[in-house]
Chain A
Amino acid sequence: MVKRKVRLSEILLNSSVFLSTALSALALGLIFFYVIREGTTLLNWELFTGNYHARNYIAELQDNQSQSYNMPDFSTSENVYPVDRFGIALEEDVDLAGNGVVRVYYVHPDSPFNQMISKEVGTEVVDLDVGMIFQRISYVDHPTSLSRGGAQKFATELNDPQREVYELFFSDLGGGIQGSIITTIYLIFMTIIIAVPFGVLTAIYFNEFAPSNWITKTMRSFIETLTGVPSIIYGLLGITVFVPLTVRFTPAVNSNLIAGALTLSVIILPTIIRTTEESLRVVPDDHRAASLALGANKTQTTFKVVLPQASPGIITATFLGIGRVIGESAALIFVLGAAIKDTVNIYEPSTSLAVHIWSMMTDEPANIALSSTIAILILAIVLVINVTVKIGVKLLTRKGM
């Protein structure tokens, strides 16, 4: 056997192939590692379901007399301090942004902290619920205590029979991203409903109906160029066209979700057109000819024979679009605003998850932990979408072809 001489250039080529792969994998792996390391500490169901803006309450007790309550034993729980005198327990905890807070760990049903007299206009009584945050307690004839003293200090003071509670300032947890999740879901649905029909029909025009002349070619290369335009430019379009348009025709008064969805539709339209067109192009001409030879007209051929065969491509296009909607931030800051909302209204500004990250990072100081947690959520959604698309397309192709 002749031993083949391996050339140096081949060794270099092969090693650069392996090296590039290793570097790419390393870069992607590091991103995942970083995001997951930073974000998992805050990963918590309350974050996804909670409001961002904490609601504050000021109230006084109806009854300041000590009673004995049949309290559970908290000695095994760490950082929990019972207040036997009032039938509650306080916990040293961190909020969703990672700051130390005093949370309510337990409230006895007979505790005077239930049915407190609210000092706000419009509400009469207010309950203290498990999970709420103690901000400040004022006492009669004693100095006011703030939460930075910690749970233990609050508990010791409250257990002191000499003290009479004058006023309690407390709040919900806050910092949740529920509103941003809902906005993102709204954006996905609205954008897809607008962009997919337009995109698919445009692709049909280009692939099935358009004459092959310079006008078609020019339009096609325009669309191709549009896929590469930075999204902030679409944001400019959105703020100069879609925001005034929606303000004119809907109850909206400034940036709003509809304008956001319209802008995103324009952003994903070129991708949808191109992907759909590619899947239309691979439909064999034989099938078109067979349909026409059977006396079907162009429209029937296009919608009954060609389009169904392109459906895996259209699904792929749709999910690429969804990925883009989830990831978009720059354009949305213009047209949707960066105001974090807990109740979402399509006529009002709100924030998507990606813009929420941006808001967290522009806070002083930047909240990297929370941003990473949102990033984990976004990555998870994108992962789920990708897997769904793969399975869906596989099922479709197996059924049809």
Chain B
Amino acid sequence: MEKVIETQELSLNYGDFNALANVNLPIYRNKVTALIGPSGCGKSTFLRCLNRMNDLIDNVKVEGIIRFNGEPVQGVGVDVIELRKKVGMVFQKPNPFPMSIFDNVAYGPRQQGVKNKDKLKEIVEKALKQAALYGEVKDRMNESATRLSGGQQQRLCIARALAMEPEVLLMDEPTSALDPMATQRIEELIEELKKDYTIVIVTHSMQQAARISDNTAFFLLGEIIEFGLTSEIFANPRDKRTEDYITGRFG
């Protein structure tokens, strides 16, 4: 299996606080990798390392190696914008811009200089179709995106990320603010998307990880306790702490 992203001895400090320590994790192409663990275990922090969103926070120090397609992600000479074009992100709370549905999806390509209207229309339609939202919004492309329901907004955010044609999609608890029906639609969508994309998803729900992911990494206090096939981790966890967590004894 081909590794898209790989980290070696990755550690991260917020000031004095050690958020990640010695994380070695491969992300395989066209697989869904779930990051699970209790709150504050560093799984979201790890996710944000992969597209360098941690740069936005002051006092963050990252050590170790992150490779995307063999190229280093950390370091001074790395083109962050190029990286973020290839590694898209979907956030915990649906966060569409207060613009029209069309403008939301077209935002990324527009900032990269795509001006041709037909081309933009094509990109937007394709992204919305991939995000399984096109049928619901095709007649109201100029309506404000904030009028959509929460689940639709989140699929719009996925479409917005897909419009950049990334290789990897990072999802930070994408369903935690949604109702069960909307959650189910997103999960079906993830299933569909992994044909074309590599997906890394942080989730609080063990059931969700078990349902949709191929690989699972269990984080605890900034370290990876266990990583492997989801089926194995949930059936026969090797570590006692993993077992305690997935059986709901803590977290």
State whether these chains interact: yes
Establish whether residues B84 and A292, one from each chain, have CB atoms under 8 Å apart when the complex forms: yes
Most chain B beta-carbon neighbours within 10 Å: one of A287, A288, A293? A293
Give every chain B residue within 8 A of A295 (Cβ-Cβ). Answer: 81-82, 84-85, 108, 111-112, 164
Interface residues of B (CB under 8 A from A): 51, 53, 56, 58, 81-82, 84-85, 88-89, 91, 93, 95, 97-99, 107-108, 111-112, 144, 146, 157, 160-161, 164
| Interface positions of A from 349 to 401, Cβ below 8 Å from B | 399-401
**In-complex Cβ contact of A293 among B58, B89, B99 (8 A):** B89
- Cα A237 to Cα B91 in complex, Å, equals 50
Q: Is A296 an interface residue (CB 8 A)?
A: yes
Q: Are B81's CB and A297's CB within 8 A? A: yes
Tell me the dominant secondary structure on chain A's binding face: helix
A289 within 8 A of B: yes
Inter-chain contacts of B58 with A (CB < 8 A): 212
Q: B160 to A289, Cβ gap below 8 A?
A: no
Q: Does A291 contact B (CB under 8 A)?
A: yes
Q: Which one of B56, B99, B164 lies within 8 Å of A400 (CB-CB)?
A: B99
| Shortest Cβ-Cβ A-B pairs, 8 listed | A295-B85, A286-B95, A294-B108, A293-B89, A296-B111, A295-B84, A400-B98, A401-B98
How far in angstroms is the closest Cβ of chain B from A293?
A: 4
Q: Which bracket fits the contact residues of A?
A: 20 to 34
User: With a CB–CB cut-off of 8 A, which chain A residues contact B111?
Assistant: 291, 294-297, 300, 304
Separation of A305 and B99 alpha carbons in the complex (Å) = 9
Cα A305 to Cα B160 in complex, Å, equals 14
B161 adjacent to A293 (CB under 8 Å): yes
Taking a contact as CB atoms under 8 Å apart, the answer to whether A284 and B95 are in contact is: yes
Does A292 lie within 8 Å of B56, measured CB to CB? Answer: yes
CA distance in complex: A300, B56 (Å)? 15
- Chain A residues within 8 Å of B146, by CB: 401
Spell out A's residues near B (CB within 8 Å): 212, 284, 286-297, 300, 304-305, 308-309, 399-401
A393 → chain B closest CB, angstroms: 14
**CB-defined contacts of A286 to chain B, threshold 8 Å:** 91, 93, 95
Q: Which residues of B contact A287 (CB under 8 A)?
A: 95, 97
Q: Which listed residue (A289, A297, A300) contacts B53, Cβ 8 A?
A: A289
Q: Which residues of A contact B99 (CB under 8 A)?
A: 308, 400
A400 to B160, CA, bound (A): 18
Beyond the given pairs A292-B53, A399-B144, 9 more chain A to chain B contacts, judged by CB atoms under 8 angstroms and listed by A's residue number, are A284-B95, A291-B107, A291-B111, A293-B91, A294-B107, A304-B107, A305-B107, A308-B98, A309-B98
Q: Which residues of B contact A399 (CB under 8 A)?
A: 144
- The answer on a CB contact under 8 Å between B160 and A294 is yes
Report the separation of the CA atoms of residues A309 and B144 in the bound assembly, to the nearest whole angstrom: 13
Determine the chain A residues whose CB is within 8 A of the CB of B157 once the complex forms. 290
Contacting pair A290 B164 (CB below 8 A) = no
Tell me, rounded to whole Å, the shortest Cβ–Cβ distance linking A155 to chain B: 71
Q: What A residues does B82 contact at CB under 8 A?
A: 295
Q: How far is the CA of A284 from the CA of B98 in the complex (A)?
A: 11
B144 touches A401 (CB 8 A): yes
Measured in the bound complex, the distance between the Cα atoms of B102 and A280 in whole Å is 24
The contact sample of 30 A-B pairs, CB cut-off 8 A, is A212-B58, A286-B91, A287-B97, A289-B56, A289-B91, A289-B95, A290-B91, A290-B95, A290-B157, A291-B107, A292-B53, A292-B56, A292-B84, A293-B84, A293-B88, A293-B91, A294-B85, A294-B108, A294-B160, A294-B161, A295-B82, A295-B164, A296-B108, A296-B111, A304-B111, A308-B98, A308-B99, A399-B144, A401-B98, A401-B144
Instruction: List, in ascending order, chain A residues with CB within 8 A of B112's CB.
Output: 295
Q: Closest chain A residue to B86 by CB distance?
A: A295
Complex: A61 Cα to B179 Cα, angstroms: 94
For the complex formed, measure the closest distance between the CB of B44 and the CB atoms of chain A, giving whole angstroms. 12
Return the chain B residue nearest A290 by Cβ.
Answer: B95
B88 pairs with A290, CB closer than 8 A: no
